[in-house]
Amino acid sequence: MFWFDKRRLARQVRDLKPDLVHAHGTEDAYGLAAQESGLPYVITVQGLIFVINRVLKPRLLSRDRAVEIAERICLKRARDVIAKSDYVAAELKAQFPHLSLHQIPNTFDARLLSIPPGRRGRVVAFVGTVTERKGVHTLRAALALAQVTLPDIELWVFGDTSAGASEYEVREKAMLRELMGPRLVLHGILPALEVAKRLVQASALAAPSQEEMFGNQVIESLLVGTHAIVTEGTAMAENVRRFGNGTIVPQSDPRGLADAICAALSKDSFPAAEPARQAVIDALGPEHVARVHRALYAKIVASCAAVESAPRNG
């Protein structure tokens, strides 16, 4: 159905008569619609379905396979693409060397900066959908090991669903309840600001994803001073190396994750928290990211105008 969606979206975009179209994502028909519009455009790539499908192979006949085909068609035709991390840029460069890549990170909600510090307990927070890609099974296995050392450890989950939950989510939540009893708190889906206000009470964020191309939850964690435990081979590790106040563990390694959780929850303070917070503000602040976007928009519009006004042979 992407063909119909791209035409409908492109028609509505043309009616607005913008100078430039910014498609945020290649999933569904967004990137294709920007191309269909015939206007100058740029595509932000935060998630790449061809990478996700490589890690977690879908069925041959599935929506994920269809999205990957549409994504490849879109990126083969594209020129200017915004990559949210070195991780994404490297994948794009390898698969689509013709692209003109611009690395601009996500910004954050400035209201996060006004959240007051909270009292931290022996709480591990997980923020995200309860899916295999997010490594919830690895976190469960790690907590089984960690609670031998820290029997009062709690897990707060933000992002679980009650209606329409997948078989994986139902199974993992049932096993977590059996493992932790009342020390498991399922918060469901909350606004991002509400999640951050509660995240400030956790000693650590656990993000054991098998694949992650930016990791907004890690940035929000660092902004409220919560230590982030992330997996190697993801863009989250890239951000922890860049900003600090985090621990990087191997993927699918419950023992390594358990050790990192125990170490974080046993600390009385996190001296790296404030330098990491300031580094995130400096690099990802809304005004800075907006200026970089505006400069890119102007460059693309000017380039397209130059092409249109160039004399044509014949």
**Each residue of 157-207: pLDDT tens digit?**
999 998 888 999 999 999 999 999 999 999 999 999 999 999 999 999 999
Domains of the chain, with CATH numbers? 2-107+285-309 (3.40.50.2000), 110-282 (3.40.50.2000)
- What is residue 157's predicted lDDT score, i.e. its pLDDT? 97
At residue 1, the pLDDT reads 66
Angle value at C-alpha 279, between 274 and 282, nearest 5 degrees: 125
**What number of residues does the chain have?**
314
300 Cβ neighbours under 8 A, 6+ residues apart: 20, 40, 41, 42, 80
Percent with pLDDT over 70 in the chain:
97
Provide the 3-class DSSP secondary structure of residue 100. Answer: strand
- Token reading at 24: 């945020």
* Pairwise pLDDT comparison (308 vs 89), residue with the higher score: 89
